[in-house]
């Protein structure tokens, strides 16, 4: 089995260790991984802002980059849902690009979703003595259909104490361009999210979307209560390194 890694801009620019952890985990279970060099921004900022022609340009580049991939594994539920859900909407009625968008859509999985639903693996064999809580991004839930796969994988880590996050389905206030267009509302939302995280007493905040973690982490530092944050691939890899 071979997969193509869709790292996303934020992983590539700010959190490359999350990408490396994902590659290491996939290879550990015999999955071949490549990184199509033609990949670029998925076009979601343009799409969310109503610039459909610009979004289509980015989408066409991404479709070309991944057209020969067997599976596409994304490290962001938000960007992955752009490929899976919105490309199909974007090219509806286009006889050339709509079939290509549908073909791409069928290959796209969020990281933990691929492990649990495709590989059938929840326990990667990790061990870690830590208390964690989990934030699943809105687009990971609603766009990708990921419900409990990340939690299943965390609960399988020996020694790990998982504490559910109160109001877990609430948005952190980032929402791509939402935080830019509505900064006051966004600030209130992320403040509430961080208060719930602090209530859990978690030592580490685990997430499925690095953009959300960036937003939440910034607020935690602003509050003077920084909590380490990790993509789920990173904490699983750390758990394997501890053995």
d(CA 87, CA 36): 19
Closest CA to 137 of 152, 147, 124: 147
| Bridge pairing between strands 2-6 and 71-74 | parallel
Q: Which two tokens stand for residue 136?
A: 């699943």
Is the entire prediction scored with pTM above 0.85? yes
d(CA 126, CA 35): 25
CA 43: distance to chain centroid?
A: 16
d(CA 57, CA 97): 11
Local confidence pLDDT in tens for the 243 residues of the chain: 999 999 899 999 999 999 999 999 999 999 999 999 999 999 999 998 999 999 999 999 999 999 999 999 999 888 999 999 999 999 999 999 999 999 999 999 999 999 999 999 999 999 999 999 999 988 898 889 998 999 999 999 999 999 999 999 999 888 778 888 888 999 999 999 999 999 999 999 999 999 999 999 999 999 998 899 999 999 999 999 876
d(CA 41, CA 35): 14
């Amino acid at each position: 089995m071979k997969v193509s890694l869709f790292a996303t801009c934020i992983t590539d620019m700010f959190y490359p260790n999350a990408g490396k952890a994902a590659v290491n985990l996939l290879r550990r279970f015999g999955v071949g991984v490549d990184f199509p060099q033609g990949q670029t921004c998925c076009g979601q900022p343009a799409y969310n802002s109503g610039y459909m022609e610009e979004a289509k340009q980015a989408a066409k580049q991404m479709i070309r980059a991944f057209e020969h991939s067997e599976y596409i594994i994304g490290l962001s539920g938000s960007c992955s849902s752009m490929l899976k859900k919105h490309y199909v909407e974007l090219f509806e009625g286009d006889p050339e690009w709509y079939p290509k968008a549908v073909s791409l859509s069928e290959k796209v999985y969020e990281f933990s979703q691929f492990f649990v639903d495709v590989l059938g693996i929840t326990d990667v064999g990790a061990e870690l003595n830590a208390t964690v809580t989990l934030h699943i991004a809105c687009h990971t839930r609603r766009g990708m259909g990921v419900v409990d796969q990340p939690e299943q994988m965390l609960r399988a880590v020996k020694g790990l104490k998982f504490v559910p996050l109160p109001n877990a389905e609430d948005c952190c206030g980032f929402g791509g361009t939402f935080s830019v267009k509505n900064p006051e509302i966004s600030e209130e939302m992320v403040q509430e999210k961080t208060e719930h995280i602090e209530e859990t007493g978690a030592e580490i905040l685990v997430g499925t979307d690095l953009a959300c973690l960036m937003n939440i982490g910034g607020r935690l530092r602003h509050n003077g209560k920084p909590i380490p944050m990790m993509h789920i691939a990173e904490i699983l890899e750390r758990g394997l390194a501890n053995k």
